[in-house]
């Protein structure tokens, strides 16, 4: 008989990643080693509770994109809904905290940006194959 694996405590994992990111000038190890990481602040759509999500991003000069992949799950992550409800927020990028406005991109523009993310981070291709939904892409525009 094999033991059931313990459920992943994503809240604790996120807290550890956030602490490491802040202590190391915007870098984290483990599954985020060498990946472009941003801390996205967001407020609960219904609760108003302030939260922070560490996310792998596509950073192209001043443009920052995030992807609501949820690891290929069939539902969008909560932070996606929160950002659409409260699009004026801030991100931590490296050692800077920047005000941003969230813009969802769709259609051919979305497809082009997602393809660039897959080229940079191939696991995002796996996420897309694992779900029947179109994974949303958000641009974080500096405000």
Q: Where are the beta strands (DSSP E) in 20-120?
A: 37-43, 50-60, 63-67, 88-93, 96-105
Q: How many domains does the chain have?
A: 1
Dist. CA 109–CA 77, nearest whole Å: 21
- What pLDDT is attached to residue 122? 97
Residue 4 lies in a domain: no
Residue 5 lies in a domain: no
- What pLDDT is attached to residue 1? 44
Residue 128 belongs to domain spanning: 10-142
Residue 109 lies in a domain: yes
Dist. CA 116–CA 104, nearest whole Å: 16
pLDDT per residue rounded down to tens, the chain (143 residues): 445 555 667 788 889 999 999 999 999 999 899 999 999 999 999 999 999 999 999 999 999 999 999 999 999 999 999 999 999 999 999 999 999 999 999 999 999 999 999 999 999 999 999 999 999 999 999 99
Instruction: Give me the CATH number covering residue 62.
Output: 2.30.110.10
Residue 44 lies in a domain: yes
pTM: 0.91
Positive or negative: CA dihedral 117, 142, 78, 111: negative
Residue 2 lies in a domain: no
């Amino acid at each position: 008989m094999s033991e059931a694996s313990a459920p992943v405590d994503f809240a604790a994992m996120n807290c550890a990643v956030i602490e490491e990111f802040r202590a190391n000038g915007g870098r984290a190890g483990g599954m985020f080693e060498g990946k472009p990481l941003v801390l996205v602040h967001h407020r609960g759509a219904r609760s108003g509770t302030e939260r922070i999500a560490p996310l792998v991003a596509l950073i192209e000069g001043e443009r920052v994109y995030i992807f609501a992949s949820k690891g290929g799950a069939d539902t969008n992550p909560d932070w996606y809904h929160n950002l659409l409800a409260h699009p004026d927020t801030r991100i931590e990028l490296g050692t800077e905290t920047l005000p941003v406005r969230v813009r969802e991109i769709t259609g051919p523009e979305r497809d082009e940006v997602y393809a660039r993310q897959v080229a940079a981070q191939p696991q995002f291709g796996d996420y897309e194959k694992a779900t029947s939904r179109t994974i949303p892409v958000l641009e974080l525009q500096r405000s």
